[in-house]
Amino acid sequence: MKKRGFTIIEVVLVLAIAGLIFLMVFIALPALQRGQRNTQRKNDINRVMTAIDNYRANNSNKLPFGYDTSKRVSFFDENFVSRYIDGGVSGSLGSLSCSGDCSQFSDPNGELYGFYLWNSGKSYSAGTKEGAGNNDIKAKETDIWVFRGAKCDSEEGVAVGTGVSGNFALIYKLEGGAYYCVDNI
């Protein structure tokens, strides 16, 4: 009587195929998770754009940010931050403190978003924002860059000056080094 079973070659072949499948999942999973986090970031930036539109509708078409020439400082309207962005967030230029549950407006990695207002009249590229002619940059990695008088260019993440004070662009650096840019034009 002959015993039936698997040969060593069949067992090794099945283990090799299972190992390849495991390896493909192991490699693809981080990229999928990064993509999901970037999608959440894009949704958050779009939510800020909607909040700005709502603010303008309720405040005679004024923007919730600006530049005080007498003090040479950027500002973000506290009313906008506290009333138009969810999560009990309050604060000012470059940083936001939290007075309630801030999980609704945090980066997917858990750090609270901030805003950084750029006030140059020149063209600017988010890809070179660290050295873009402003020696006073104190922005964090999770800051949403607000470019006044700007619009997004055809290149991803580039804001070009328009000279129109009502125009603005929001830029955020995604994982992997790409920039996401939205504007009101």
The domains of the chain are located at 42-183
**Contact indicator for 181, 152 with CB cutoff of 8 Å:** yes
* Residue 79 main-chain phi, psi, to 5 deg: -60, -40
pTM of the model: 0.70
Q: Which residues contact 62 (CB under 8 A, 6 or more apart)?
A: 55, 56
Tell me the percentage of the chain whose pLDDT exceeds 90: 16
Determine the Cα angle at 112 with ends 52 and 98, to 5°: 85
* 139 vs 21, more confident: 21
What is the pLDDT, as a whole number, of residue 5? 85
What is the pLDDT, as a whole number, of residue 67? 66
What is the pLDDT, as a whole number, of residue 14? 96
Q: Are strands 65-68 and 73-76 parallel, antiparallel or unpaired?
A: antiparallel
* 165 vs 170, more confident: 170
What is the pLDDT, as a whole number, of residue 38? 93
